Copies of this chain bind each other. A is one copy, B any other.
Amino acid sequence: MGSLNDIGVAAGINILSALGFLLAFAVLRIQPINDRVYFPKWYLKGTRSSPRHIGAALSKFVNADVSTYMRFLNWMPAALKMPEPELIEHAGLDSAVYVRIYLLGLKLFVPIAVLAFSVLVPVNWTSGTLEDEKSLSYDQIDKLSISNIGTGSKRFWAHIAMAYVFTFWTFYVLYHEYKVITTMRLRFLANQKRRPDQFTVLVKNIPEDSDETVSEHVQHFFAVNHRDHYLSHQVVYNANTLASLVEKKTGLQNWLVYYENQHAKNPEKNPTIKTGLWGLWGEKVDAVEYYRTTIEELCKQEDEEREKVVSDPSAIMPAAFVSFKSQWGAAVCAQTQQTSNPTVWITEWAPEPRDVYWPNLAIPFVSLSVRRLIMTVALFFLTFFFMVPIALVQSLANLDDIERVLPFLKPIIQRNSLRSIIQGFLPGIALKLFLIILPTILMTMSKIEGHISLSGLDRRTASKYFLFLFVNVFLGSVITGTAFQQLDTFIHQSANKIPETIGESIPMKATFFITYIMVDGWSGIAAEVLRLKPLVMFHIKNTFLVRTDQDRDQAMDPGSLDFGSNEPRIQLYFLLGLVYAVVTPILLPFIIVFFSLAYLVFRHQIINVYNQQYESCAQFWPDVHRRIIIALIVSQILLLGLLSTQEAEKSTFALLPLPVLTIWFHYVCKGRFEPAYIKFPLQEAMVKDTLQRATDPTLNLRAYLKDAYVHPVFQGGDMYDLVAMDEEEKDPLLVATKRRSRMNTPVDSRLNSSSGTNEGEFSRLRP
């Protein structure tokens, strides 16, 4: 337990470092040379030059205009200026809703903090139990917390009453926010321009058929079972090898460009490289020549592979994107079960084309459940055994222990200023370092689980990460910090003892979490705005690889929100805020500062920097909502545990309804709002169909959808000829025989038809 002094030092350090980051950002961002690092979104939109920097663009590399340095903080109001509808238009609904999570934090905690400071802090402060018990070492900060109330005191009723008030306020805010965001989502969906995914359903696990190719089978099935609505389909190719070849080629091309540039700068000297491992040994060859031939070879390989994928029937995966004539038809197909065997012909809304995660499209049903079993077990082990190293580092931060183990360090440790720095800084940093490699591992696990959209992968990763943060950062810090050596006995404790033990040590960990918030929340967010890694990477690429403006565009790395690792971290703040709202309200202002700063920074980033890979229309909100509910329940149970150790016997009965009510509230919200994120109502579909038919009666939907769901490595190729579009309106009717149905396959692209064995029969349909 650090003292007020410790917190002061930590706050000083963190405020300074946060200010340093902000200052560096303010200086760097107005340098024209960094323009593409800090404003890539506008370049991608094609509308850069930014109005605020016209003057500065005169000088090419360094901004010499002193007046702009004076206004170095005015990106902050600028970030707030853009109204929300424009923000949605500019950055998409996902981003706009994402920053609303920070806003939700403010809406939730500002009134809670006001109430807590006007009611609970006086109650705690005037109690004076700690002063009486001279034996205990205590700190000024503890006098503001619930620790200052004596056991069995009547004053606990104030805390119980506040727990109710805070819970109901949370209900109100959450319900309201869910409602607003659902409305935003529905309005966004309704106003959306025509998009291929509105008409398309992804069909997985198409059963094998000995007589027909996958393509024929799909067509016959949907022509029969969705007779009036089926339009066309696109089979899915296993192009994973091809994709990796393309990727490899891109890498080699970068090197080629690099050496060509070298050569251009210094025309006399031909750059050479060694062909062996990592260019360290082996034969010395001319670099430009070498890369050119390698790339040529790769191109050949690529062509062969492409040919193979297209012609080999086994490269067709048992999945397809099926398009319908109307959104109503697609909505029906996506929401219904197709056959009596629910493990085949599984239909779901197709993700947006850019949201599709192609490698996972062909995982069979049985394999899926085995994969999920294995990943669940793996997650368990990852979550619960990752704890050990963190706990070790945590206990290192306990300087008294260090002194005991390594007595020769005593003189250094005894110096007060250093002591404060280490105690204030190290625990947060240690945690932070551990957490950096984690999202990648979790994302890989989600990929193995077989989700088929990037947005789905992000959401699943966020769930896993939240579990991890909860167990290892929250519980881990609370338990190990006070009683790491008792961990084993703790597991063997009684079921009703666990919340008591955790609850009891909660007030004592307030200082630690305040430090954590400052390191992770304040400095971390300020570092986010600086974009150090993209800045360095851009300048390296810019120096060595960029020749044209197009190259420079590609060298930009706008990044994206990274929902999978950012959202769970916000949730940790919700958890801390809710847990400490009643126990140690002094923590709340730190959280409020975090939410305000993060809201500013991320609003700035989504306006100027991030380029989202996909648009899921805020589909993540039910997850966000659920996790705040979990945080609320945890806070209630811990308060229950804490109070039951304080001999406030009746408190158990007084607080028990809270978690029950919260779970119930969750189900009410789930029933009321969640379907809007999973299903697509038929009424809306019908309205959109009617509107579209009225506004654009001549639309050739088949042509519009034709190439929408083609694997990216095939896209832009010349393989897609338009064929027989005039036959579109022919109704496929009831497909009686195989031959008959084949006659109705005019839309099959060459890719599809060549995948079967009936090339000859198809070719006569072509002009």
Contacts and interface: CB of A to CB of B under 8 A. Distances in A.
A225 B686 contact: yes
Interface in A310-357: 331-332, 335-340, 342-343, 345
Nearest to A189: B340
B682 A342 contact: no
A667 B368 CA distance: 11
A529 B684 CA distance: 57
Contacts of A679: 336-337, 342
Contacts of A660: 373, 377
Contact of A684 (B221, B339, B493, B664): B339
A365 B332 contact: no
Nearest to A373: B664
Contact of A336 (B336, B369, B673, B690): B336
B224 A671 contact: no
A495 to B, nearest CB: 5
A493 B495 CA distance: 7
A179 B20 CA distance: 66
A653 to B, nearest CB: 13
A681 B225 CA distance: 10
Contacts of A671: 342-343, 365, 369
A533 interface: no
Interface in A662-719: 664, 667-668, 671-676, 679-684, 686, 690
A497 interface: yes
Contacts of A664: 369, 373
A272 B764 CA distance: 97
A674 to B, nearest CB: 8
A104 interface: no
Contacts of A680: 337
A337 B675 contact: yes
A226 interface: yes
Contacts of A684: 339-340
Contacts of A682: 225-226, 336-339
Interface string A629-647: 0000000000000000000
A332 B336 contact: yes
Nearest to A678: B337
A560 to B, nearest CB: 28
A683 B338 contact: yes
A631 to B, nearest CB: 21
Interface in A472-524: 491-498
Contact of A228 (B228, B377, B494): B228
Given A496-B491, A686-B225, A668 B338 contact: no
A492 B496 CA distance: 6
Contact of A369 (B338, B493, B497, B668): B668
Given A336-B331, A337-B335, A682-B336, A342 B672 contact: yes
A123 B676 CA distance: 59
A667 B343 CA distance: 13
Contacts of A373: 660, 664
A686 B674 CA distance: 30
Contacts of A227: 686
B492 A342 contact: no
Interface in A600-652: none
Contact of A343 (B332, B337, B343, B672): B672
Interface string A535-563: 00000000000000000000000000000
Contacts of A369: 664, 667-668, 671
A498 B492 CA distance: 11
Contacts of A331: 336
Contacts of A338: 681-683
A340 B676 contact: yes
A243 interface: no
A471 interface: no
A87 interface: no
A681 B335 contact: no
Nearest to A366: B668
A422 interface: no
Contacts of A676: 340, 342
A739 B664 CA distance: 44
A373 B665 CA distance: 10
Contacts of A497: 492, 494
Contacts of A399: none
A186 interface: yes
Contacts of A342: 671-676, 679
A435 B109 CA distance: 51
Contacts of A226: 682
Interface string A718-745: 0000000000000000100000000000
A584 B755 CA distance: 62
5 contacts: A224-B683, A225-B682, A337-B675, A337-B679, A337-B682
Which 6 A/B pairs are nearest by Cβ-Cβ distance?
Answer: A342-B675, A337-B679, A494-B494, A495-B495, A335-B336, A339-B683
Given A342-B675, A343-B671, 20 more contacts: A224-B683, A227-B686, A228-B228, A332-B332, A335-B336, A337-B682, A338-B682, A339-B682, A342-B671, A342-B676, A342-B679, A343-B672, A365-B672, A366-B668, A369-B667, A491-B496, A492-B497, A494-B494, A494-B495, A494-B497
